[in-house]
Structure 1
Amino acid sequence: MKYTILIVSLLSAFSAFAQPDSQLIDKVVAKVGTNVILLSDLQSQKIQAMQENIEVTDELECTILEELLYQNLLLNQADLDSVTVTDEQVDAEMEQRLRVIEGQIGGREELEKFYGKTVSQIKKEFRPAIRKRLIGQEMERQITAEVVISPKEVRDFFHSLPEDSLPYINSKLGLQQIVIYPEITEADKQKTYDQLNTIREQIISGDKTFRAMAGVYSQDPGSRSKGGEIKASRGQMVKEFEATAFSLKPGEISPVFETEYGFHVMELIERKGDDYVCRHILMVPEVSEEAFIIASEKIEKCHAELKKNEITWEDAVLKYSNDNSTNQNKGLLSNPYSGETLWDMEDLNQIDQQIFILVNSLEVGEITRPSVYDNMMERKQGVRIVRLSERTTPHKANLKDDYQLIQNAALNEKRQKIIKEWTDDKINNAYIRIDEKYNACDFRYNWFKNIN
């Protein structure tokens, strides 16, 4: 049972979570409309708190209950307003959460062992809870959808903040890049295809086993050590891989096929509903030395033109960069944590240590020498030039430098006020029942106002 706390924490958004081997006799502790809150819902949230080293007190239990009351008030209104979410949204949310759990627990097989159920059975169990959570989020989005904030409101919000509560803003960097990836030629692809096809023929002839050949030749680090074995569900893998898995019969070996990651050959082991187990061998076309030399010469030429001011940075990006994620926006690198183009130093160091080292000593507007670039996300190598477009100095938040940050905070406060007004109004008209055990709770909202 060593994984119990971990999974409760990751699935804390699921109000219907029930722990394996629980001896608790469940009961209804509250009801909002036709939606009930169970004692087990409270218990799972308390376990999460303990995992995070939070002291579980009567006050905390009241806070947890109020959050569950609010979520069910949203669901009650969503039912009245016919607010729904699609099966695709539910499946996507389900798959995302399962992947997080698998990464922590040690894979899909460990997850199945823990529950004593297949992934399909686990999905069936949690799908209603996930659907309710998403419907609640959509209802809340609709409540605040028309909330906007004016510049005056932003200024008034900022000036209302006590001086000693203003946040200290660390230095942030704005970055741009020009990337040239060596071109993989059709000859490079054909060479890889032929190599993998030869391996496939050896397996089919019985000279070699699929497991052994995957262990020797596969370039997929996640499955190579397991003889190429992968356990997955519909919607988890890229479409070409999934289409192949669902076209094979158990024991059948596919022709060589291509995905964005390279060339594959697959053996289906078993398939049950949306779940399948297969083995695959991945081989990635190698960039020729000649292609890398050509890319290096191009990036050197680009660097020389920039240093001599023969071309602007914007024109150089359009002319030279073949990085699809940045070559249409002046080479700007967006921060995946915030979606903004300014990077916190800590985030930058976590995402791309190479670039941190390159730009740390640059002045704004300066560019680096061309260097090798290892794109870990897309598993490919190229060459690049990086430009420091902006560097902020550490400072206390102010309207001039941090308007967007302050605007977001002001907008969030306004949304919270709208939500409070909506909640107060709906409490007056909803059927609400709460176990008398919680009569002493000091709730933020007056849930006892219209107790039936």
Structure 2
Amino acid sequence: MMKRLFAAAVLVPVGLVAQIPATTAARRVPTVLPIDRVAAVVGDQTLLWSDVLTSINQRRAQGMQLPPDSAGQAALARQVLNELVDEEILVQKAKEMKLEVVESEITSAADRQIKQVRSQFPSDEAYRDELRKAGLGNPDEYRKSLIDQYRRQQYQQKAFAELKKKAKPVNVSEEEITAAFERSRADLQKRPATVTFRQIVVAPHASPAAKAKAKARADSLLAEIRKGGDFEQIAKRESMDPGTKQLGGDLGWNRRGSGLVPEFEAVMFALRPGEVSPVIETAFGYHIIRVDRVQAAEVKARHILIAPEIDSADVARARAEADSVAAQWRRGVSYDSLVAKHHDPTEEKGVLQPFPRDSLPASYSGALAGAKAGDITRPFELANPRGAAKFAVLQVVTMTDAGEYKVGEIRDQIRQQLSDERSIRALLDELRKQTYVAIKL
């Protein structure tokens, strides 16, 4: 149930019904079925037999094989119904907890889905006709049902996230791990060729004059905002963050520890809704932050970034510094001391979980070609969408060839998955006890 509930909403196109979330189709299709009945009651909401059938058909469109015998089909129907019950309980729990959803994100997701579906048809008429055949009404009705479904998904996800905080770890035995591995061995994909590595990334540093110029520009923008300037428009006009500039500096919702640099996060969480920060400095440059909304340990904020100019002399110094780092590392200088002195704090210190080698960026693939465990690469250039190039030096930790998985390689992942599934199942079972649930199937 957990895998299905939080799967991506945009599905592989296999006919129109295969491209829409299951519950959306379920809530529209009853109009074309000759007979329907109540399959379950959850609180004050009903789940229909057509909901179950449509959810099953949704999965079939994605490749699930229907059991050939009636007993297997009945068992599948009961499983699907119980998953729909869990989803409805989560929606009701989210509303009870007064969790909020972001309507703009919901409508944007629905519109993206509609755009994808519409692109499969040669004309508006063909699109409308297929909607009608699928029991989804006209385009406006289809959009409304999609928005409702995405809203439900957000409620489910938020309730799930809150409940997961209360989940208690469940012990899993070695025998259970081995049994789970054997059950799914046939379905496991081949282990890809992987690599793990540590890295030191050296970034060019702006001159004091360039930093002073950027700080002065940020101060002038703050003064403009304090005088009543529109923060969003100023961000679109001036911000040097390519990821948020066109969004008026919108960073979306963020929790503590979600990846923002510490000094930025500390200021953001100290602001009240509507409040604008002073100019602050991070490794990226100078920022002005405005908090728009606050809810349950989350903050929705915007920012304006003014980055100091990096010139060719700064880049040349960074390249020379990276050469020095590689030489010192090979001579035995400790990784920790080199990181503390040279590593760009905005970059990861490496990839210590096996990473598929065929998914590495081209620059990393080139640097690691022919390398073996323990090797330290020559410095290589990293593309930087924010500005000047950076330089990386890697040390290979492990280099694994493609092949079959062995239980020992994924034992920890299996243990964690089984523990998570059981602890969440316990929480959902407890919620069932607190909610009126009547299964009619």
If the length of structure 1 is used for normalisation, what is the TM-score? 0.56
Among 41, 57, 69, which residue is 2:82 paired with? 69
Structure with the higher helix share, 1 or 2: 2
Q: Which amino acid aligns with 1:304?
A: A
Instruction: Tell me if the contact between 1:180 and 1:323 (Cα under 8 Å) persists in the aligned partners.
Output: no
The aligned residue for residue 344 of structure 1 is 356
Q: How has the CA–CA distance of structure 1 residues 61 and 383 changed in structure 2, closer, same or farther, with 3 Å as cutoff? A: farther
**How far does the alpha carbon of each residue in 1:349-381 deviate from its partner, in whole angstroms, 9 at most, with x for none?**
3xx3321221122233222221222356x8774
Which stretch of structure 1 is more off in the superposition, 404-413 or 384-393? 404-413
The aligned residue for residue 119 of structure 2 is none
**CA displacement at 1:84 relative to structure 2:** 9.6
For residues 388 and 110 of structure 2, what CA distance do their matches in structure 1 show? 26
Among 398, 405, 410, which residue is 1:405 paired with? 410
Unaligned runs of 5+ in 2: 1-8, 12-16, 114-139
How do residues 411-450 of structure 1 correspond to structure 2 at under 5 angstroms? 433-435=438-440, 438=441
Instruction: Tell me if the contact between 2:39 and 2:49 (Cα under 8 Å) persists in the aligned partners.
Output: yes
Instruction: Tell me if the contact between 2:382 and 2:392 (Cα under 8 Å) persists in the aligned partners.
Output: yes
**CA displacement at 1:163 relative to structure 2:** 9.0
Q: How has the CA–CA distance of structure 1 residues 106 and 312 changed in structure 2, closer, same or farther, with 3 Å as cutoff? A: same
- Residues 1:285 and 2:308 are matched in the alignment: yes
**CA displacement at 1:262 relative to structure 2:** 4.6
**How far does the alpha carbon of each residue in 1:121-166 deviate from its partner, in whole angstroms, 9 at most, with x for none?**
9998777655655577678x54xx332324x7656777x6799788
- Residues 1:180 and 2:185 are matched in the alignment: no
Q: 1:30 aligns to what SS in structure 2? A: strand
How do residues 257-268 of structure 1 correspond to structure 2 at under 5 angstroms? 257-258=279-280, 262-263=285-286
Q: How has the CA–CA distance of structure 1 residues 229 and 245 changed in structure 2, closer, same or farther, with 3 Å as cutoff? A: farther
Q: How has the CA–CA distance of structure 1 residues 259 and 68 changed in structure 2, closer, same or farther, with 3 Å as cutoff? A: farther
The aligned residue for residue 390 of structure 2 is 382
For residues 231 and 299 of structure 1, what CA distance do their matches in structure 2 show? 32
Among 373, 376, 392, which residue is 1:367 paired with? 376
**CA displacement at 1:405 relative to structure 2:** 0.8
The aligned residue for residue 395 of structure 1 is 403
Q: 2:351 aligns to what SS in structure 1? A: coil
**How far does the alpha carbon of each residue in 1:389-422 deviate from its partner, in whole angstroms, 9 at most, with x for none?**
2211233333xxx514145446756987999999
Q: 1:396 aligns to what SS in structure 2? A: coil
For residues 336 and 408 of structure 2, what CA distance do their matches in structure 1 show? 26
**CA displacement at 1:51 relative to structure 2:** 6.4
For residues 388 and 96 of structure 2, what CA distance do their matches in structure 1 show? 36
Among 365, 374, 395, which residue is 1:356 paired with? 365
Q: Which amino acid aligns with 2:274?
A: S
- Residues 1:297 and 2:315 are matched in the alignment: no
For residues 254 and 344 of structure 2, what CA distance do their matches in structure 1 show? 32
For residues 95 and 232 of structure 2, what CA distance do their matches in structure 1 show? 42
Q: 1:395 aligns to what SS in structure 2? A: coil
For residues 216 and 313 of structure 1, what CA distance do their matches in structure 2 show? 41
Q: Which amino acid aligns with 2:410?
A: L
Q: How has the CA–CA distance of structure 1 residues 262 and 166 changed in structure 2, closer, same or farther, with 3 Å as cutoff? A: closer
For residues 172 and 325 of structure 1, what CA distance do their matches in structure 2 show? 21
Q: Which amino acid aligns with 1:296?
A: R
For residues 278 and 237 of structure 2, what CA distance do their matches in structure 1 show? 17
The aligned residue for residue 55 of structure 2 is 45
Q: 2:171 aligns to what SS in structure 1? A: coil
**How far does the alpha carbon of each residue in 1:67-114 deviate from its partner, in whole angstroms, 9 at most, with x for none?**
34256479989x9xxx999969x55xx56x97597468459xxxxx99
For residues 367 and 259 of structure 1, what CA distance do their matches in structure 2 show? 33
**CA displacement at 1:182 relative to structure 2:** 2.8
Report the count of equivalent residues.
Answer: 382
Q: How has the CA–CA distance of structure 1 residues 106 and 232 changed in structure 2, closer, same or farther, with 3 Å as cutoff? A: farther
Among 206, 209, 219, which residue is 2:240 paired with? 219
**How far does the alpha carbon of each residue in 1:223-250 deviate from its partner, in whole angstroms, 9 at most, with x for none?**
6568x486967989986679889437xx
For residues 103 and 354 of structure 1, what CA distance do their matches in structure 2 show? 33
**CA displacement at 1:344 relative to structure 2:** 1.7
Instruction: Tell me if the contact between 1:147 and 1:415 (Cα under 8 Å) persists in the aligned partners.
Output: no
Instruction: Tell me if the contact between 1:234 and 1:242 (Cα under 8 Å) persists in the aligned partners.
Output: no
Q: How has the CA–CA distance of structure 1 residues 22 and 67 changed in structure 2, closer, same or farther, with 3 Å as cutoff? A: closer
Instruction: Tell me if the contact between 1:174 and 1:391 (Cα under 8 Å) persists in the aligned partners.
Output: yes
For residues 223 and 426 of structure 2, what CA distance do their matches in structure 1 show? 69
Q: How has the CA–CA distance of structure 1 residues 72 and 157 changed in structure 2, closer, same or farther, with 3 Å as cutoff? A: closer
If the length of structure 2 is used for normalisation, what is the TM-score? 0.57
Q: 2:80 aligns to what SS in structure 1? A: helix
Instruction: Tell me if the contact between 1:193 and 1:256 (Cα under 8 Å) persists in the aligned partners.
Output: no
Unaligned runs of 5+ in 1: 108-112, 249-253, 335-340, 439-452
Instruction: Tell me if the contact between 2:373 and 2:399 (Cα under 8 Å) persists in the aligned partners.
Output: yes
**How far does the alpha carbon of each residue in 1:198-228 deviate from its partner, in whole angstroms, 9 at most, with x for none?**
578899999x9999976664434456568x4
For residues 76 and 215 of structure 2, what CA distance do their matches in structure 1 show? 59
Q: Which amino acid aligns with 1:343?
A: F
**CA displacement at 1:290 relative to structure 2:** 4.3
For residues 284 and 103 of structure 1, what CA distance do their matches in structure 2 show? 32
For residues 279 and 414 of structure 1, what CA distance do their matches in structure 2 show? 38
Q: Please tell me the root mean square deviation across aligned C-alpha atoms, in Å.
A: 6.4
Q: How has the CA–CA distance of structure 1 residues 40 and 231 changed in structure 2, closer, same or farther, with 3 Å as cutoff? A: farther
